[in-house]
Structure 1
Amino acid sequence: MGIFSNLFSKQQEHAAASRPEVTCPVAGTVVKLESVSDPVFASKTMGDGIAIEPSEGVLVAPVTGTVQALFPTGHAVAVQGDNGISVLLHIGIDTVDMKGDGFTAHISQGDRVSAGQKLVTFDLNKIAEAGHPATTMVLIAESTCDGTLHTCDEGAVALGDAVIWFA
């Protein structure tokens, strides 16, 4: 029986390692997308995914790929992953109104990025002072992946944790 359980364990490890996934781009607490105060995000009009209440002001690449879009204000970034997943990252709700104040982009549109690479830093205090929630959306804009989209449970997440995957 030991040989079969080892084989099964190796198969599970391979399946987990090869499943297309999105890693956590900002440390904090995951909340259901449906619970955010912006109806466009809550209704999943912009894509399915999760929302994170950030505990620090650093946004990193959730996949290895190419920066498809970087809003001039620095509050939103889209990354086309080499794994077939296009991810839209949106820092805060109505933060476009801040006109870039408190946001610093560390990448440019068209750049190649590696998962975990710093994309944007943002000032949580400035966002709060402007009267906006810092809730950060992690949305699947499009995907060529087979399988069903799965999201992690609500609760604490750290940079690099798998938060969205296809299986």
Structure 2
Amino acid sequence: MGILDNLFGNKEKKELDAPAVKSITCEPKTVYSPLKGTVIPLSKVSDPVFAEEVMGPGVGIEPEDGKLYAPVDGEIVSVFPTGHAIGMKTEDGMEILLHIGIDTVQLEGEGFHAVVKQEDHVKAGELLVEFDCAKIKEKGYQTTTMVLIPNAAVLGTMSEPHMGTVKPLEPLFNFQ
């Protein structure tokens, strides 16, 4: 995959065989928290593309630390070259977009280290990205992390999301 490896980074995986946080059995069409932090409504996110659900419904999370974990069991379908965004897909077809920060693409990867690559299969709780919250804020960007479901329209009705403090792998919302 030469060129793609160069674009997306051909970095060694950091012990992806062992989840970084407790292991769980994922319920179908359920999204779990990928971070430790505070969940806020998507409508409160300062970027209108996310707040107006252009990229799909979901939540924002104000992270307490710089570790993004897999919120579901699934395949990594995309890793943005800068490491600030990850796309996943579950076996039952749910698509998840994880986007760290507002306008952080402008950092061109500074402060981000993706530890997965496209086509990796991960379990909920495995580390996906490490990011430096202090560096991101120092450069003038917000660290609000979006958990979005671009194909929500085909999944059914989304439950009311969990709001407030959350730890990795606590349920955020599901579809019925």
SS at match of 1:41: helix
Query: What are structure 2's unaligned runs of at least 5 residues?
Result: 1-25
How many residue pairs get aligned? The number is: 151
1:25 aligns to 2:8 (yes or no) = no
1:75 aligns to 2:84 (yes or no) = yes
Matches within 5 A, 1:12-91: 18-91=27-100
1:143 CA drift (Å):
4.7
Separation in structure 1 between the aligned mates of residue 152 and residue 90 of structure 2, nearest angstrom: 9
Larger helix percent: 1
* Structure (1 or 2) with the larger CA radius of gyration: 1
1:120 aligns to 2:129 (yes or no) = yes
Tell me the percent identity: 46
Separation in structure 1 between the aligned mates of residue 82 and residue 27 of structure 2, nearest angstrom: 35
Contact 1:63-1:82 within 8 A present in 2 as well? no
User: What TM-score do you get using the length of structure 2 for normalisation?
Assistant: 0.81
1:88 CA drift (Å):
0.1
- What is the one-letter code of the residue matched to 1:53? E
Alignment match of 1:131 (pick from 140, 150, 161): 140
Separation in structure 2 between the aligned mates of residue 100 and residue 25 of structure 1, nearest angstrom: 20
Runs of 4+ in 1 over 4 A off after TM superposition: 143-146
- Closer, same or farther in 2 for the Cα pair 1:148/1:95, shift >3 Å? same
Separation in structure 2 between the aligned mates of residue 48 and residue 80 of structure 1, nearest angstrom: 16
Alignment match of 2:169 (pick from 136, 143, 160): 160
User: What TM-score do you get using the length of structure 1 for normalisation?
Assistant: 0.86
